[in-house]
Amino acid sequence: MAAEEAGDPFTLAGETFTSRLVLGTGGLPSMESLERVVRASGTQLVTVALRRVEAVAGNSMMQVLDRCGVRLLPNTAGCRTAREAVRTAELAREAFETDWVKLEVIGDEQTLLPDAVELLDAAEQLVLKGFQVFAYTTDDPVLGRRLADAGCAAVMPLGSPIGSGLGIRNPHSIALLRDAVSVPVVLDAGIGTASDAALAMELGCDAVLLASAVTRARDPERMALAMRQAVEGGRLARGAGRIPRRFHAQESTAMAGRPEL
Amino acid sequence: MAAEEAGDPFTLAGETFTSRLVLGTGGLPSMESLERVVRASGTQLVTVALRRVEAVAGNSMMQVLDRCGVRLLPNTAGCRTAREAVRTAELAREAFETDWVKLEVIGDEQTLLPDAVELLDAAEQLVLKGFQVFAYTTDDPVLGRRLADAGCAAVMPLGSPIGSGLGIRNPHSIALLRDAVSVPVVLDAGIGTASDAALAMELGCDAVLLASAVTRARDPERMALAMRQAVEGGRLARGAGRIPRRFHAQESTAMAGRPEL
Amino acid sequence: MAAEEAGDPFTLAGETFTSRLVLGTGGLPSMESLERVVRASGTQLVTVALRRVEAVAGNSMMQVLDRCGVRLLPNTAGCRTAREAVRTAELAREAFETDWVKLEVIGDEQTLLPDAVELLDAAEQLVLKGFQVFAYTTDDPVLGRRLADAGCAAVMPLGSPIGSGLGIRNPHSIALLRDAVSVPVVLDAGIGTASDAALAMELGCDAVLLASAVTRARDPERMALAMRQAVEGGRLARGAGRIPRRFHAQESTAMAGRPEL
Amino acid sequence: MAAEEAGDPFTLAGETFTSRLVLGTGGLPSMESLERVVRASGTQLVTVALRRVEAVAGNSMMQVLDRCGVRLLPNTAGCRTAREAVRTAELAREAFETDWVKLEVIGDEQTLLPDAVELLDAAEQLVLKGFQVFAYTTDDPVLGRRLADAGCAAVMPLGSPIGSGLGIRNPHSIALLRDAVSVPVVLDAGIGTASDAALAMELGCDAVLLASAVTRARDPERMALAMRQAVEGGRLARGAGRIPRRFHAQESTAMAGRPEL
């Protein structure tokens, strides 16, 4: 069942999407691979890093993404201060002709975790400059709410460090963050496999961003399909109203009237 | 993406299935609901309890399942001894005209957990009597291997107690059991939501049996769809080769050549 | 605070113990190390394997354990069938002049998990032969109850495979097993560190058996001390009545009457 | 074994402590109860809220704490902005005649989680004013390092929300934070039971702060004892070098030379 059939679109910064899977593109071996992965994932929104695009001769990556009809979400990957991130966002706005930006301000090379203070500072500046800010953040509900209050278009909490594949280490925090903000929440970073993506949706996230989990899988195209299914399945399950957890068992079939043997 | 497109059929007792979702039917309010849920799930194999069928006037449940084209898997739900289970299986074979049986021998009313000794005894008897035995069992890898050695067509370990919705409490045991047997492994009992079903497949199970998680969800049809997606997504993810788990982060995009700002 | 001060003795097969830590002795480099570890742990009950004792020249291990005043619990480590385990238990009874036996019947070389059917068979035979049977078992509550019903002096469920250090993989099962039997429950196998041992006690186990976690630690004596503290701490916490888990926060200090600033 | 015997003192803001348990005092029914709990815990450092002390007639709480010989750590509980927290800290410095302060700046009434930005601002101000700042913070390693860089005497990450009893929800983050700073790390908030406290120490924390887990337990004095044991046990286990985790089993006793039966 495709997302369209689910009749469950959502809105980011005024744009409507039917796919709830956002894709990062780093790590794929070729443009052919990129195209196959983008199509398999069903994504309509792809993050790109300024420098990656420049490094590709003839902007072949742009041609692929354009052919696939996806929207671009430039990011500020690698930036370590608010000043650097704002500068990068402005260059990206010019280069990609979009005011959408995935804001990353990294506080540590080893964990690539966001720096809360620089992040919020950058977010406030970029909102004032007219950007639609998608803020990559920790799973801290209070910081998430401050980013939302600052005017971010979406908050994008991590499940675990970028590329770690550790999944959602603290589902309780994601659930609290989900309750704390009314803007869209996109789970970003840490996803390793399909069940992680499904869990993100079950916790109430509006979408999931995937990069390494797909692009570095042994078979990226197959993993893109897997993630698409998992995101749709998790979203449906959230809406379907799961059964409560019980300490003991409950029979699925009433035993009354069982024949004597 | 439908299972058929995945091109990933599997075999149970000599029969080929494209859907890896097995459905239990207890708990649904009406025959209309049953039909919608069966169709939404895409299942090709449905468990039925002997007494439930008798209780339904005119066997309307049988008519629905027949119309949906699913195969029946009678179960011995509620049986507490090998003797009782064997007798129930024989009655079911006559009533449903199939030698397939999902063998349940319950050791405890509160947890509905299987009784290892009675279960193995019943399995051995039923195999001798020509049944295709699908054994509902604990997550014990040694017991699983003994059931397989006894000639069971499939072993069906629980994730957690029936109807508890606690998911897979011990993924390590399921992974060990998966390695311990060469017959199909069907995760049976305990699933609460889509990510649980995806995880079962990622751990290497061949299929997932669902009952309460679907039939008692607030919206059973939607949950059936969710589970179908999750099972397919988990299966694909298993085949796609997930990224390893890392303690630290790994950049999704190489940082070499980043422009000076 | 020593266990004696805790005033919390318990009874195994009619004998009273103040220490709730049972120690396995394999893996230590020397008799000096053994003595230090036994004393640091405060244990009063030590498991020994028949063959290990024979392998030690002049039974120096026996002399150490005798000097430490601990009771011996011979085990049937390495046995794979009921017949073999019963035979080993009988030899151990003669060699150690005790009718206590820790019954191990292993079903798999790779996981060293118990074989449920052979285990129950051996337990029944040994009880009839007058043994006090301490049964090493899976975390299956139904099997635990059957062992207790067969007359075992204690059931000893695993947390995870022997020597794996994976801790208690399924606390829910241990809690169910604890509720299912009235004989003492001793957590056996899988413990890796102090918090695992504390958790075992919090789940309601009466004692914890430790072997590799202590003997193969970098500093076995220090780990013996750590485990002693953890077992006592976990036991006290169980009795102290922990606070309930809450989704949200609760202030530790009432905020009423806070001064205006 | 008492902490003193462990010979494992540690230093906070230039002061040496042998107990690694810090106690919050809110929630106890009487001064008698307070004294018993303080003595049972072995604590040498107790947090106090400015308003609580004022509310107690004749400062009886101060008399009890003085009699127990513990050092006071005033906190800024209930403060929501840097300005408010700095003001409260200054009042507390006067009232308690100490420049130690546990800095709490709360960003949300429902979760009582810290506000990263206000917290860092307040910490920087207080360090400049000559305070020894013990900063209650999230489990974010980057924020922890910034607090340490700002001159805090210790960083105090939460395991989960205050009073929730949910334990350490993200051990991975605590381990990363431990690696990220060289100042003492004190696990603060969320502990529910003894095994949680042991885990905190195993993750490398230097100490644990406990309030509700002790004061709201059914038997606070017994829980204080439990926590003391668990903290010491966890600390010892950290130093003892635990065994690695293995997917399969490892025999605790070498099987070579096992007698034929």
How large is the average pLDDT for residues C45-64?
Answer: 72
Mutating which of B80, B110, B111, B164 best tests the C interface, going by the most C Cβ atoms within 10 A? B111
Please name the residue of chain B whose CA is at the shortest distance from the CA of residue A163.
B250
Q: Which of B84, C261, C160, A19 is nearest to D85 (CA)?
A: C261
For residues C61 and C166, the model is more confident at C166
Mean pLDDT of D140-154: 97
- The string of DSSP letters for B105-157 reads -BS-TTT--B-HHHHHHHHHHHHHTT-EEEEEE-S-HHHHHHHHHTT-SEEEE
- Return the pLDDT at B63: 85
Say if the Cβ atoms of B165 and A245 lie within 8 Å: yes
Q: A150: which 2 tokens?
A: 């600052």
Per cent of chain A over pLDDT 90 is: 74
At B5 the pLDDT is: 47
- Judge: A113–D140 Cβ closer than 8 Å, yes or no: yes
Catalytic residue set of A: 102
Q: Where are the domains of chain C?
A: 18-240
> What distance, in Å, lies between the first and last C-alpha atoms of chain C?
44
How does the average pLDDT of chain B come out, rounded?
89
B242 touches chain A (CB under 8 A): yes
Gap between the Cα atoms of C127 and C154, Å rounded: 12
For residue D259, pLDDT beyond 60: no
Q: Which of A37, A252, A261 would best serve as a mutation to test chain B binding (most B beta carbons within 10 A)?
A: A252
Our separate counts of H helices and E strands in chain D read: 11, 10
| Chain A contact present for D75, CB below 8 A | no
D198/C195 CB distance under 8 A: yes
Helix (H, G, I), strand (E, B) or coil at A130: coil
CATH number for the domain running over D6-240 = 3.20.20.70
Of residues C111, C116, C140, nearest to B176 (C-beta): C111
Residue of D193, D231, D255 to mutate, testing the C interface (most C Cβ within 10 Å of its Cβ): D193
pLDDT of residue A260: 37
pLDDT tens track for A133-191: 999 999 999 999 999 999 999 999 999 998 899 999 999 999 999 999 999 999 999 99
Identify all chain C residues contacting D163, using CB atoms and an 8 Å cutoff.
Answer: 243, 246, 249-252
Q: How far apart are CA B113 and CA B161, in angstroms?
A: 6
Q: What is the DSSP string of C165-208?
A: ----S-HHHHHHHHHH-SS-BEEES---SHHHHHHHHHTT-SEE
Least confident of A58-72, B233-247, C109-123, D91-105: A58-72
Q: Is the CB of residue B160 less than 8 Å from the CB of residue B166? A: yes
For the domain made up of C18-240, give the CATH fold: TIM Barrel (3.20.20)
Alpha carbons A51 and B256: distance in angstroms, whole number: 9
Residue with tokens 């905020």: C255
- Interface contacts (A, B; CB < 8 Å): 280
Each as own residue / partner, the long-range contacts of residues D124-127 (CB below 8 Å, 24 or more positions apart, any chain) are: D124/D150, D124/D151, D125/D82, D125/D86, D126/D85, D126/D86, D126/D89, D126/D101, D127/D151, D127/D152
Amino acid at A164: S
Instruction: Give the containing element (helix H, strand E) for A80.
Output: none
Mean pLDDT of A68-78: 93
Minimal Cα distance from A115: which residue of D? D142
Query: If DSSP codes are grouped into helix, strand and coil, which group holds residue B169?
Result: coil
Dihedral angle of Cα A121, A124, A126, A132, to the nearest 10 degrees: 130
Asked if A198 and A231 touch (Cβ cutoff 8 Å), the reply is yes
Strand-pair category, B21-24 with B207-210: parallel
Query: In chain A, which residues have their Cβ closer than 8 Å to the Cβ of B190?
Result: none
Total CB pairs under 8 A between chain B and C: 74
Alpha-carbon distance of D211 to D220, in angstroms, equals 10
CATH 1.10.1040.10 holds for A3-238:
no
What pLDDT does A215 receive? 93
CB of C180 within 8 Å of a chain B CB? The answer is: yes
Task: Tell me whether B249 touches chain A (CB under 8 Å).
Answer: yes
State both tokens at A206: 């509006």
Was D163 annotated as part of a binding site?
A: yes
Residue C7, pLDDT > 70, answer: no
Low-confidence winner among A4-13, A194-203, B5-14, D15-24 (lowest mean pLDDT): A4-13
User: Is 60 exceeded by the pLDDT of residue B42?
Assistant: yes
Q: List CB contacts (< 8 A) between B197 and chain A.
A: 233
Q: Chain A residue closest to D176 (CA)? A: A111
CB contact under 8 A, B141 and C108: yes
- Inter-chain CB proximity C146 and B113 less than 8 Å: no
Rounded to an integer, what distance in angstroms lies between the CA atom of residue D221 and that of residue D41?
A: 8
Residue A44 has pLDDT above 50, yes or no: yes
The reply to whether C5 touches chain D by the CB within 8 Å rule is no
Q: What is the pLDDT of residue D53?
A: 55
Shortest distance, CA B106 to any CA of chain C (angstroms): 9
Q: What is the pLDDT of residue A256?
A: 41
- What percent of chain C has a predicted confidence (pLDDT) above 90? 74
Q: What percent of chain C has pLDDT over 70?
A: 90
Assign C253 a pLDDT band (cuts: 50, 70, 90).
Answer: low
Nearest Cα residue in chain A from B218: A241
Provide mean pLDDT across the span A87-103. 93
Do the Cβ atoms of B118 and B81 come closer than 8 Å? yes
Does residue B173 contact residue B139 with C-beta atoms inside 8 Å? yes
SS3 A181: coil
Q: What is the mean pLDDT of residues C6-19?
A: 88
Would the CB atoms of C142 and B108 count as touching at under 8 Å?
yes
Q: For residue D175, give the amino acid letter.
A: A
Partner C contacted by B76 (CB < 8 A): no
Q: How far is C43 from chain B (nearest CA, A)?
A: 30
Interface of C with D in 198-237 (CB under 8 A): 198-199, 201-202, 211-213, 215-220, 222-223, 225-230, 232-237
Q: Which chains touch A (3 or more CB pairs under 8 A)?
A: B, D
pLDDT digits (tens, 9 = 90+) for C211-239: 999 999 999 999 999 999 999 999 999 99
The confidence band for B54, taking pLDDT boundaries of 50, 70 and 90, is: low
What is the CB neighbour count within 10 angstroms for residue B224?
Answer: 27
Distances (CA, A) of D246 to A112, B237, C112, C191, D243: 29, 24, 13, 12, 9
CB contact under 8 A, A195 and B192: no
Give percent of chain B above pLDDT 90: 74
> Looking at the domain B15-240, which fold is it?
TIM Barrel (3.20.20)
Strand pairing partners for D210? D23
How distant is the alpha carbon of residue C72 from its chain centre?
13
Tell whether C1 lies on the interface with D, counting CB pairs under 8 A: yes
Alpha helices in chain A (DSSP H): 3-6, 31-41, 50-55, 60-68, 82-96, 116-128, 141-149, 171-180, 194-202, 212-215, 220-240
What pLDDT, on a 0 to 100 scale, did the predictor assign at position D46? 95
Chain D contact set for A145 (CB, 8 A): 107-108
Looking at per-residue confidence, does B28 or A155 come out higher? A155
Q: Nearest C-alpha of chain A: how many angstroms from B206?
A: 16
Was B212 annotated as part of a binding site? yes
Q: Tokens for C246, please give them.
A: 């809450």
pLDDT at residue number C260: 38
Q: What 8-state DSSP symbol labels residue D47?
A: E
pLDDT at residue D195 is higher than 60:
yes
Q: Please give the pLDDT value at position B131.
A: 97
Q: Compute the average pLDDT of residues A77-94.
A: 94
Active site residue B102: yes
Phi then psi for residue B199, to 5 deg, are -60, -40
Residue of D nearest to A109 (CA): D142
Top pLDDT among A256 and B23 is at B23
Q: Do B166 and C176 touch (CB under 8 A)?
A: no
pLDDT of residue C225: 97
pLDDT tens per residue, range D33-59: 999 999 999 999 999 987 655 544 456
Where is average pLDDT lowest: C83-92, C118-127, D245-254?
Answer: D245-254
Q: Enter the tokens of residue B92.
A: 């079911």
CB distance from D57 to chain C under 8 Å? Answer: no
Determine the residue of chain D that is closest to A139 in CA distance.
Answer: D140
From CA D159, how far away is CA D166, in angstroms rounded? Answer: 8
Instruction: Give the closest-approach CA distance of A145 to chain D in angstroms.
Output: 9
Report, as an integer, the average pLDDT of C114-120.
96
CA-nearest of D238, A175, A169, D177 to B246 is: A169
Q: Does B117 contact chain C (CB < 8 Å)?
A: yes
Interchain proximity D242–C192, CB inside 8 Å: yes
| CA torsion through residues B167, B171, B177, B182, sign | positive
Task: Kindly determine whether residue A258 and residue B219, on different chains, have CB atoms separated by under 8 Å.
Answer: no
Q: Quick one: DSSP state of residue B185?
A: B
Contacts of A242 (CB under 8 A, 6+ apart): A202, B165, B192, B193, B213, B217, B223
Look at residue B71 in the predicted model and tell me its pLDDT.
Answer: 94
- Asked if residue A159 lies in contact with residue A191, where contact means CB atoms within 8 angstroms, the answer is yes
Task: For residue A215, list chain B residues with Cβ-Cβ distance below 8 A.
Answer: 252
pLDDT digits (tens, 9 = 90+) for A207-218: 999 999 999 999
- Judged by a CB distance cut-off of 8 A, whether residue D125 touches chain A is no
The verdict on a CB contact (< 8 Å) between B110 and A249 is: yes
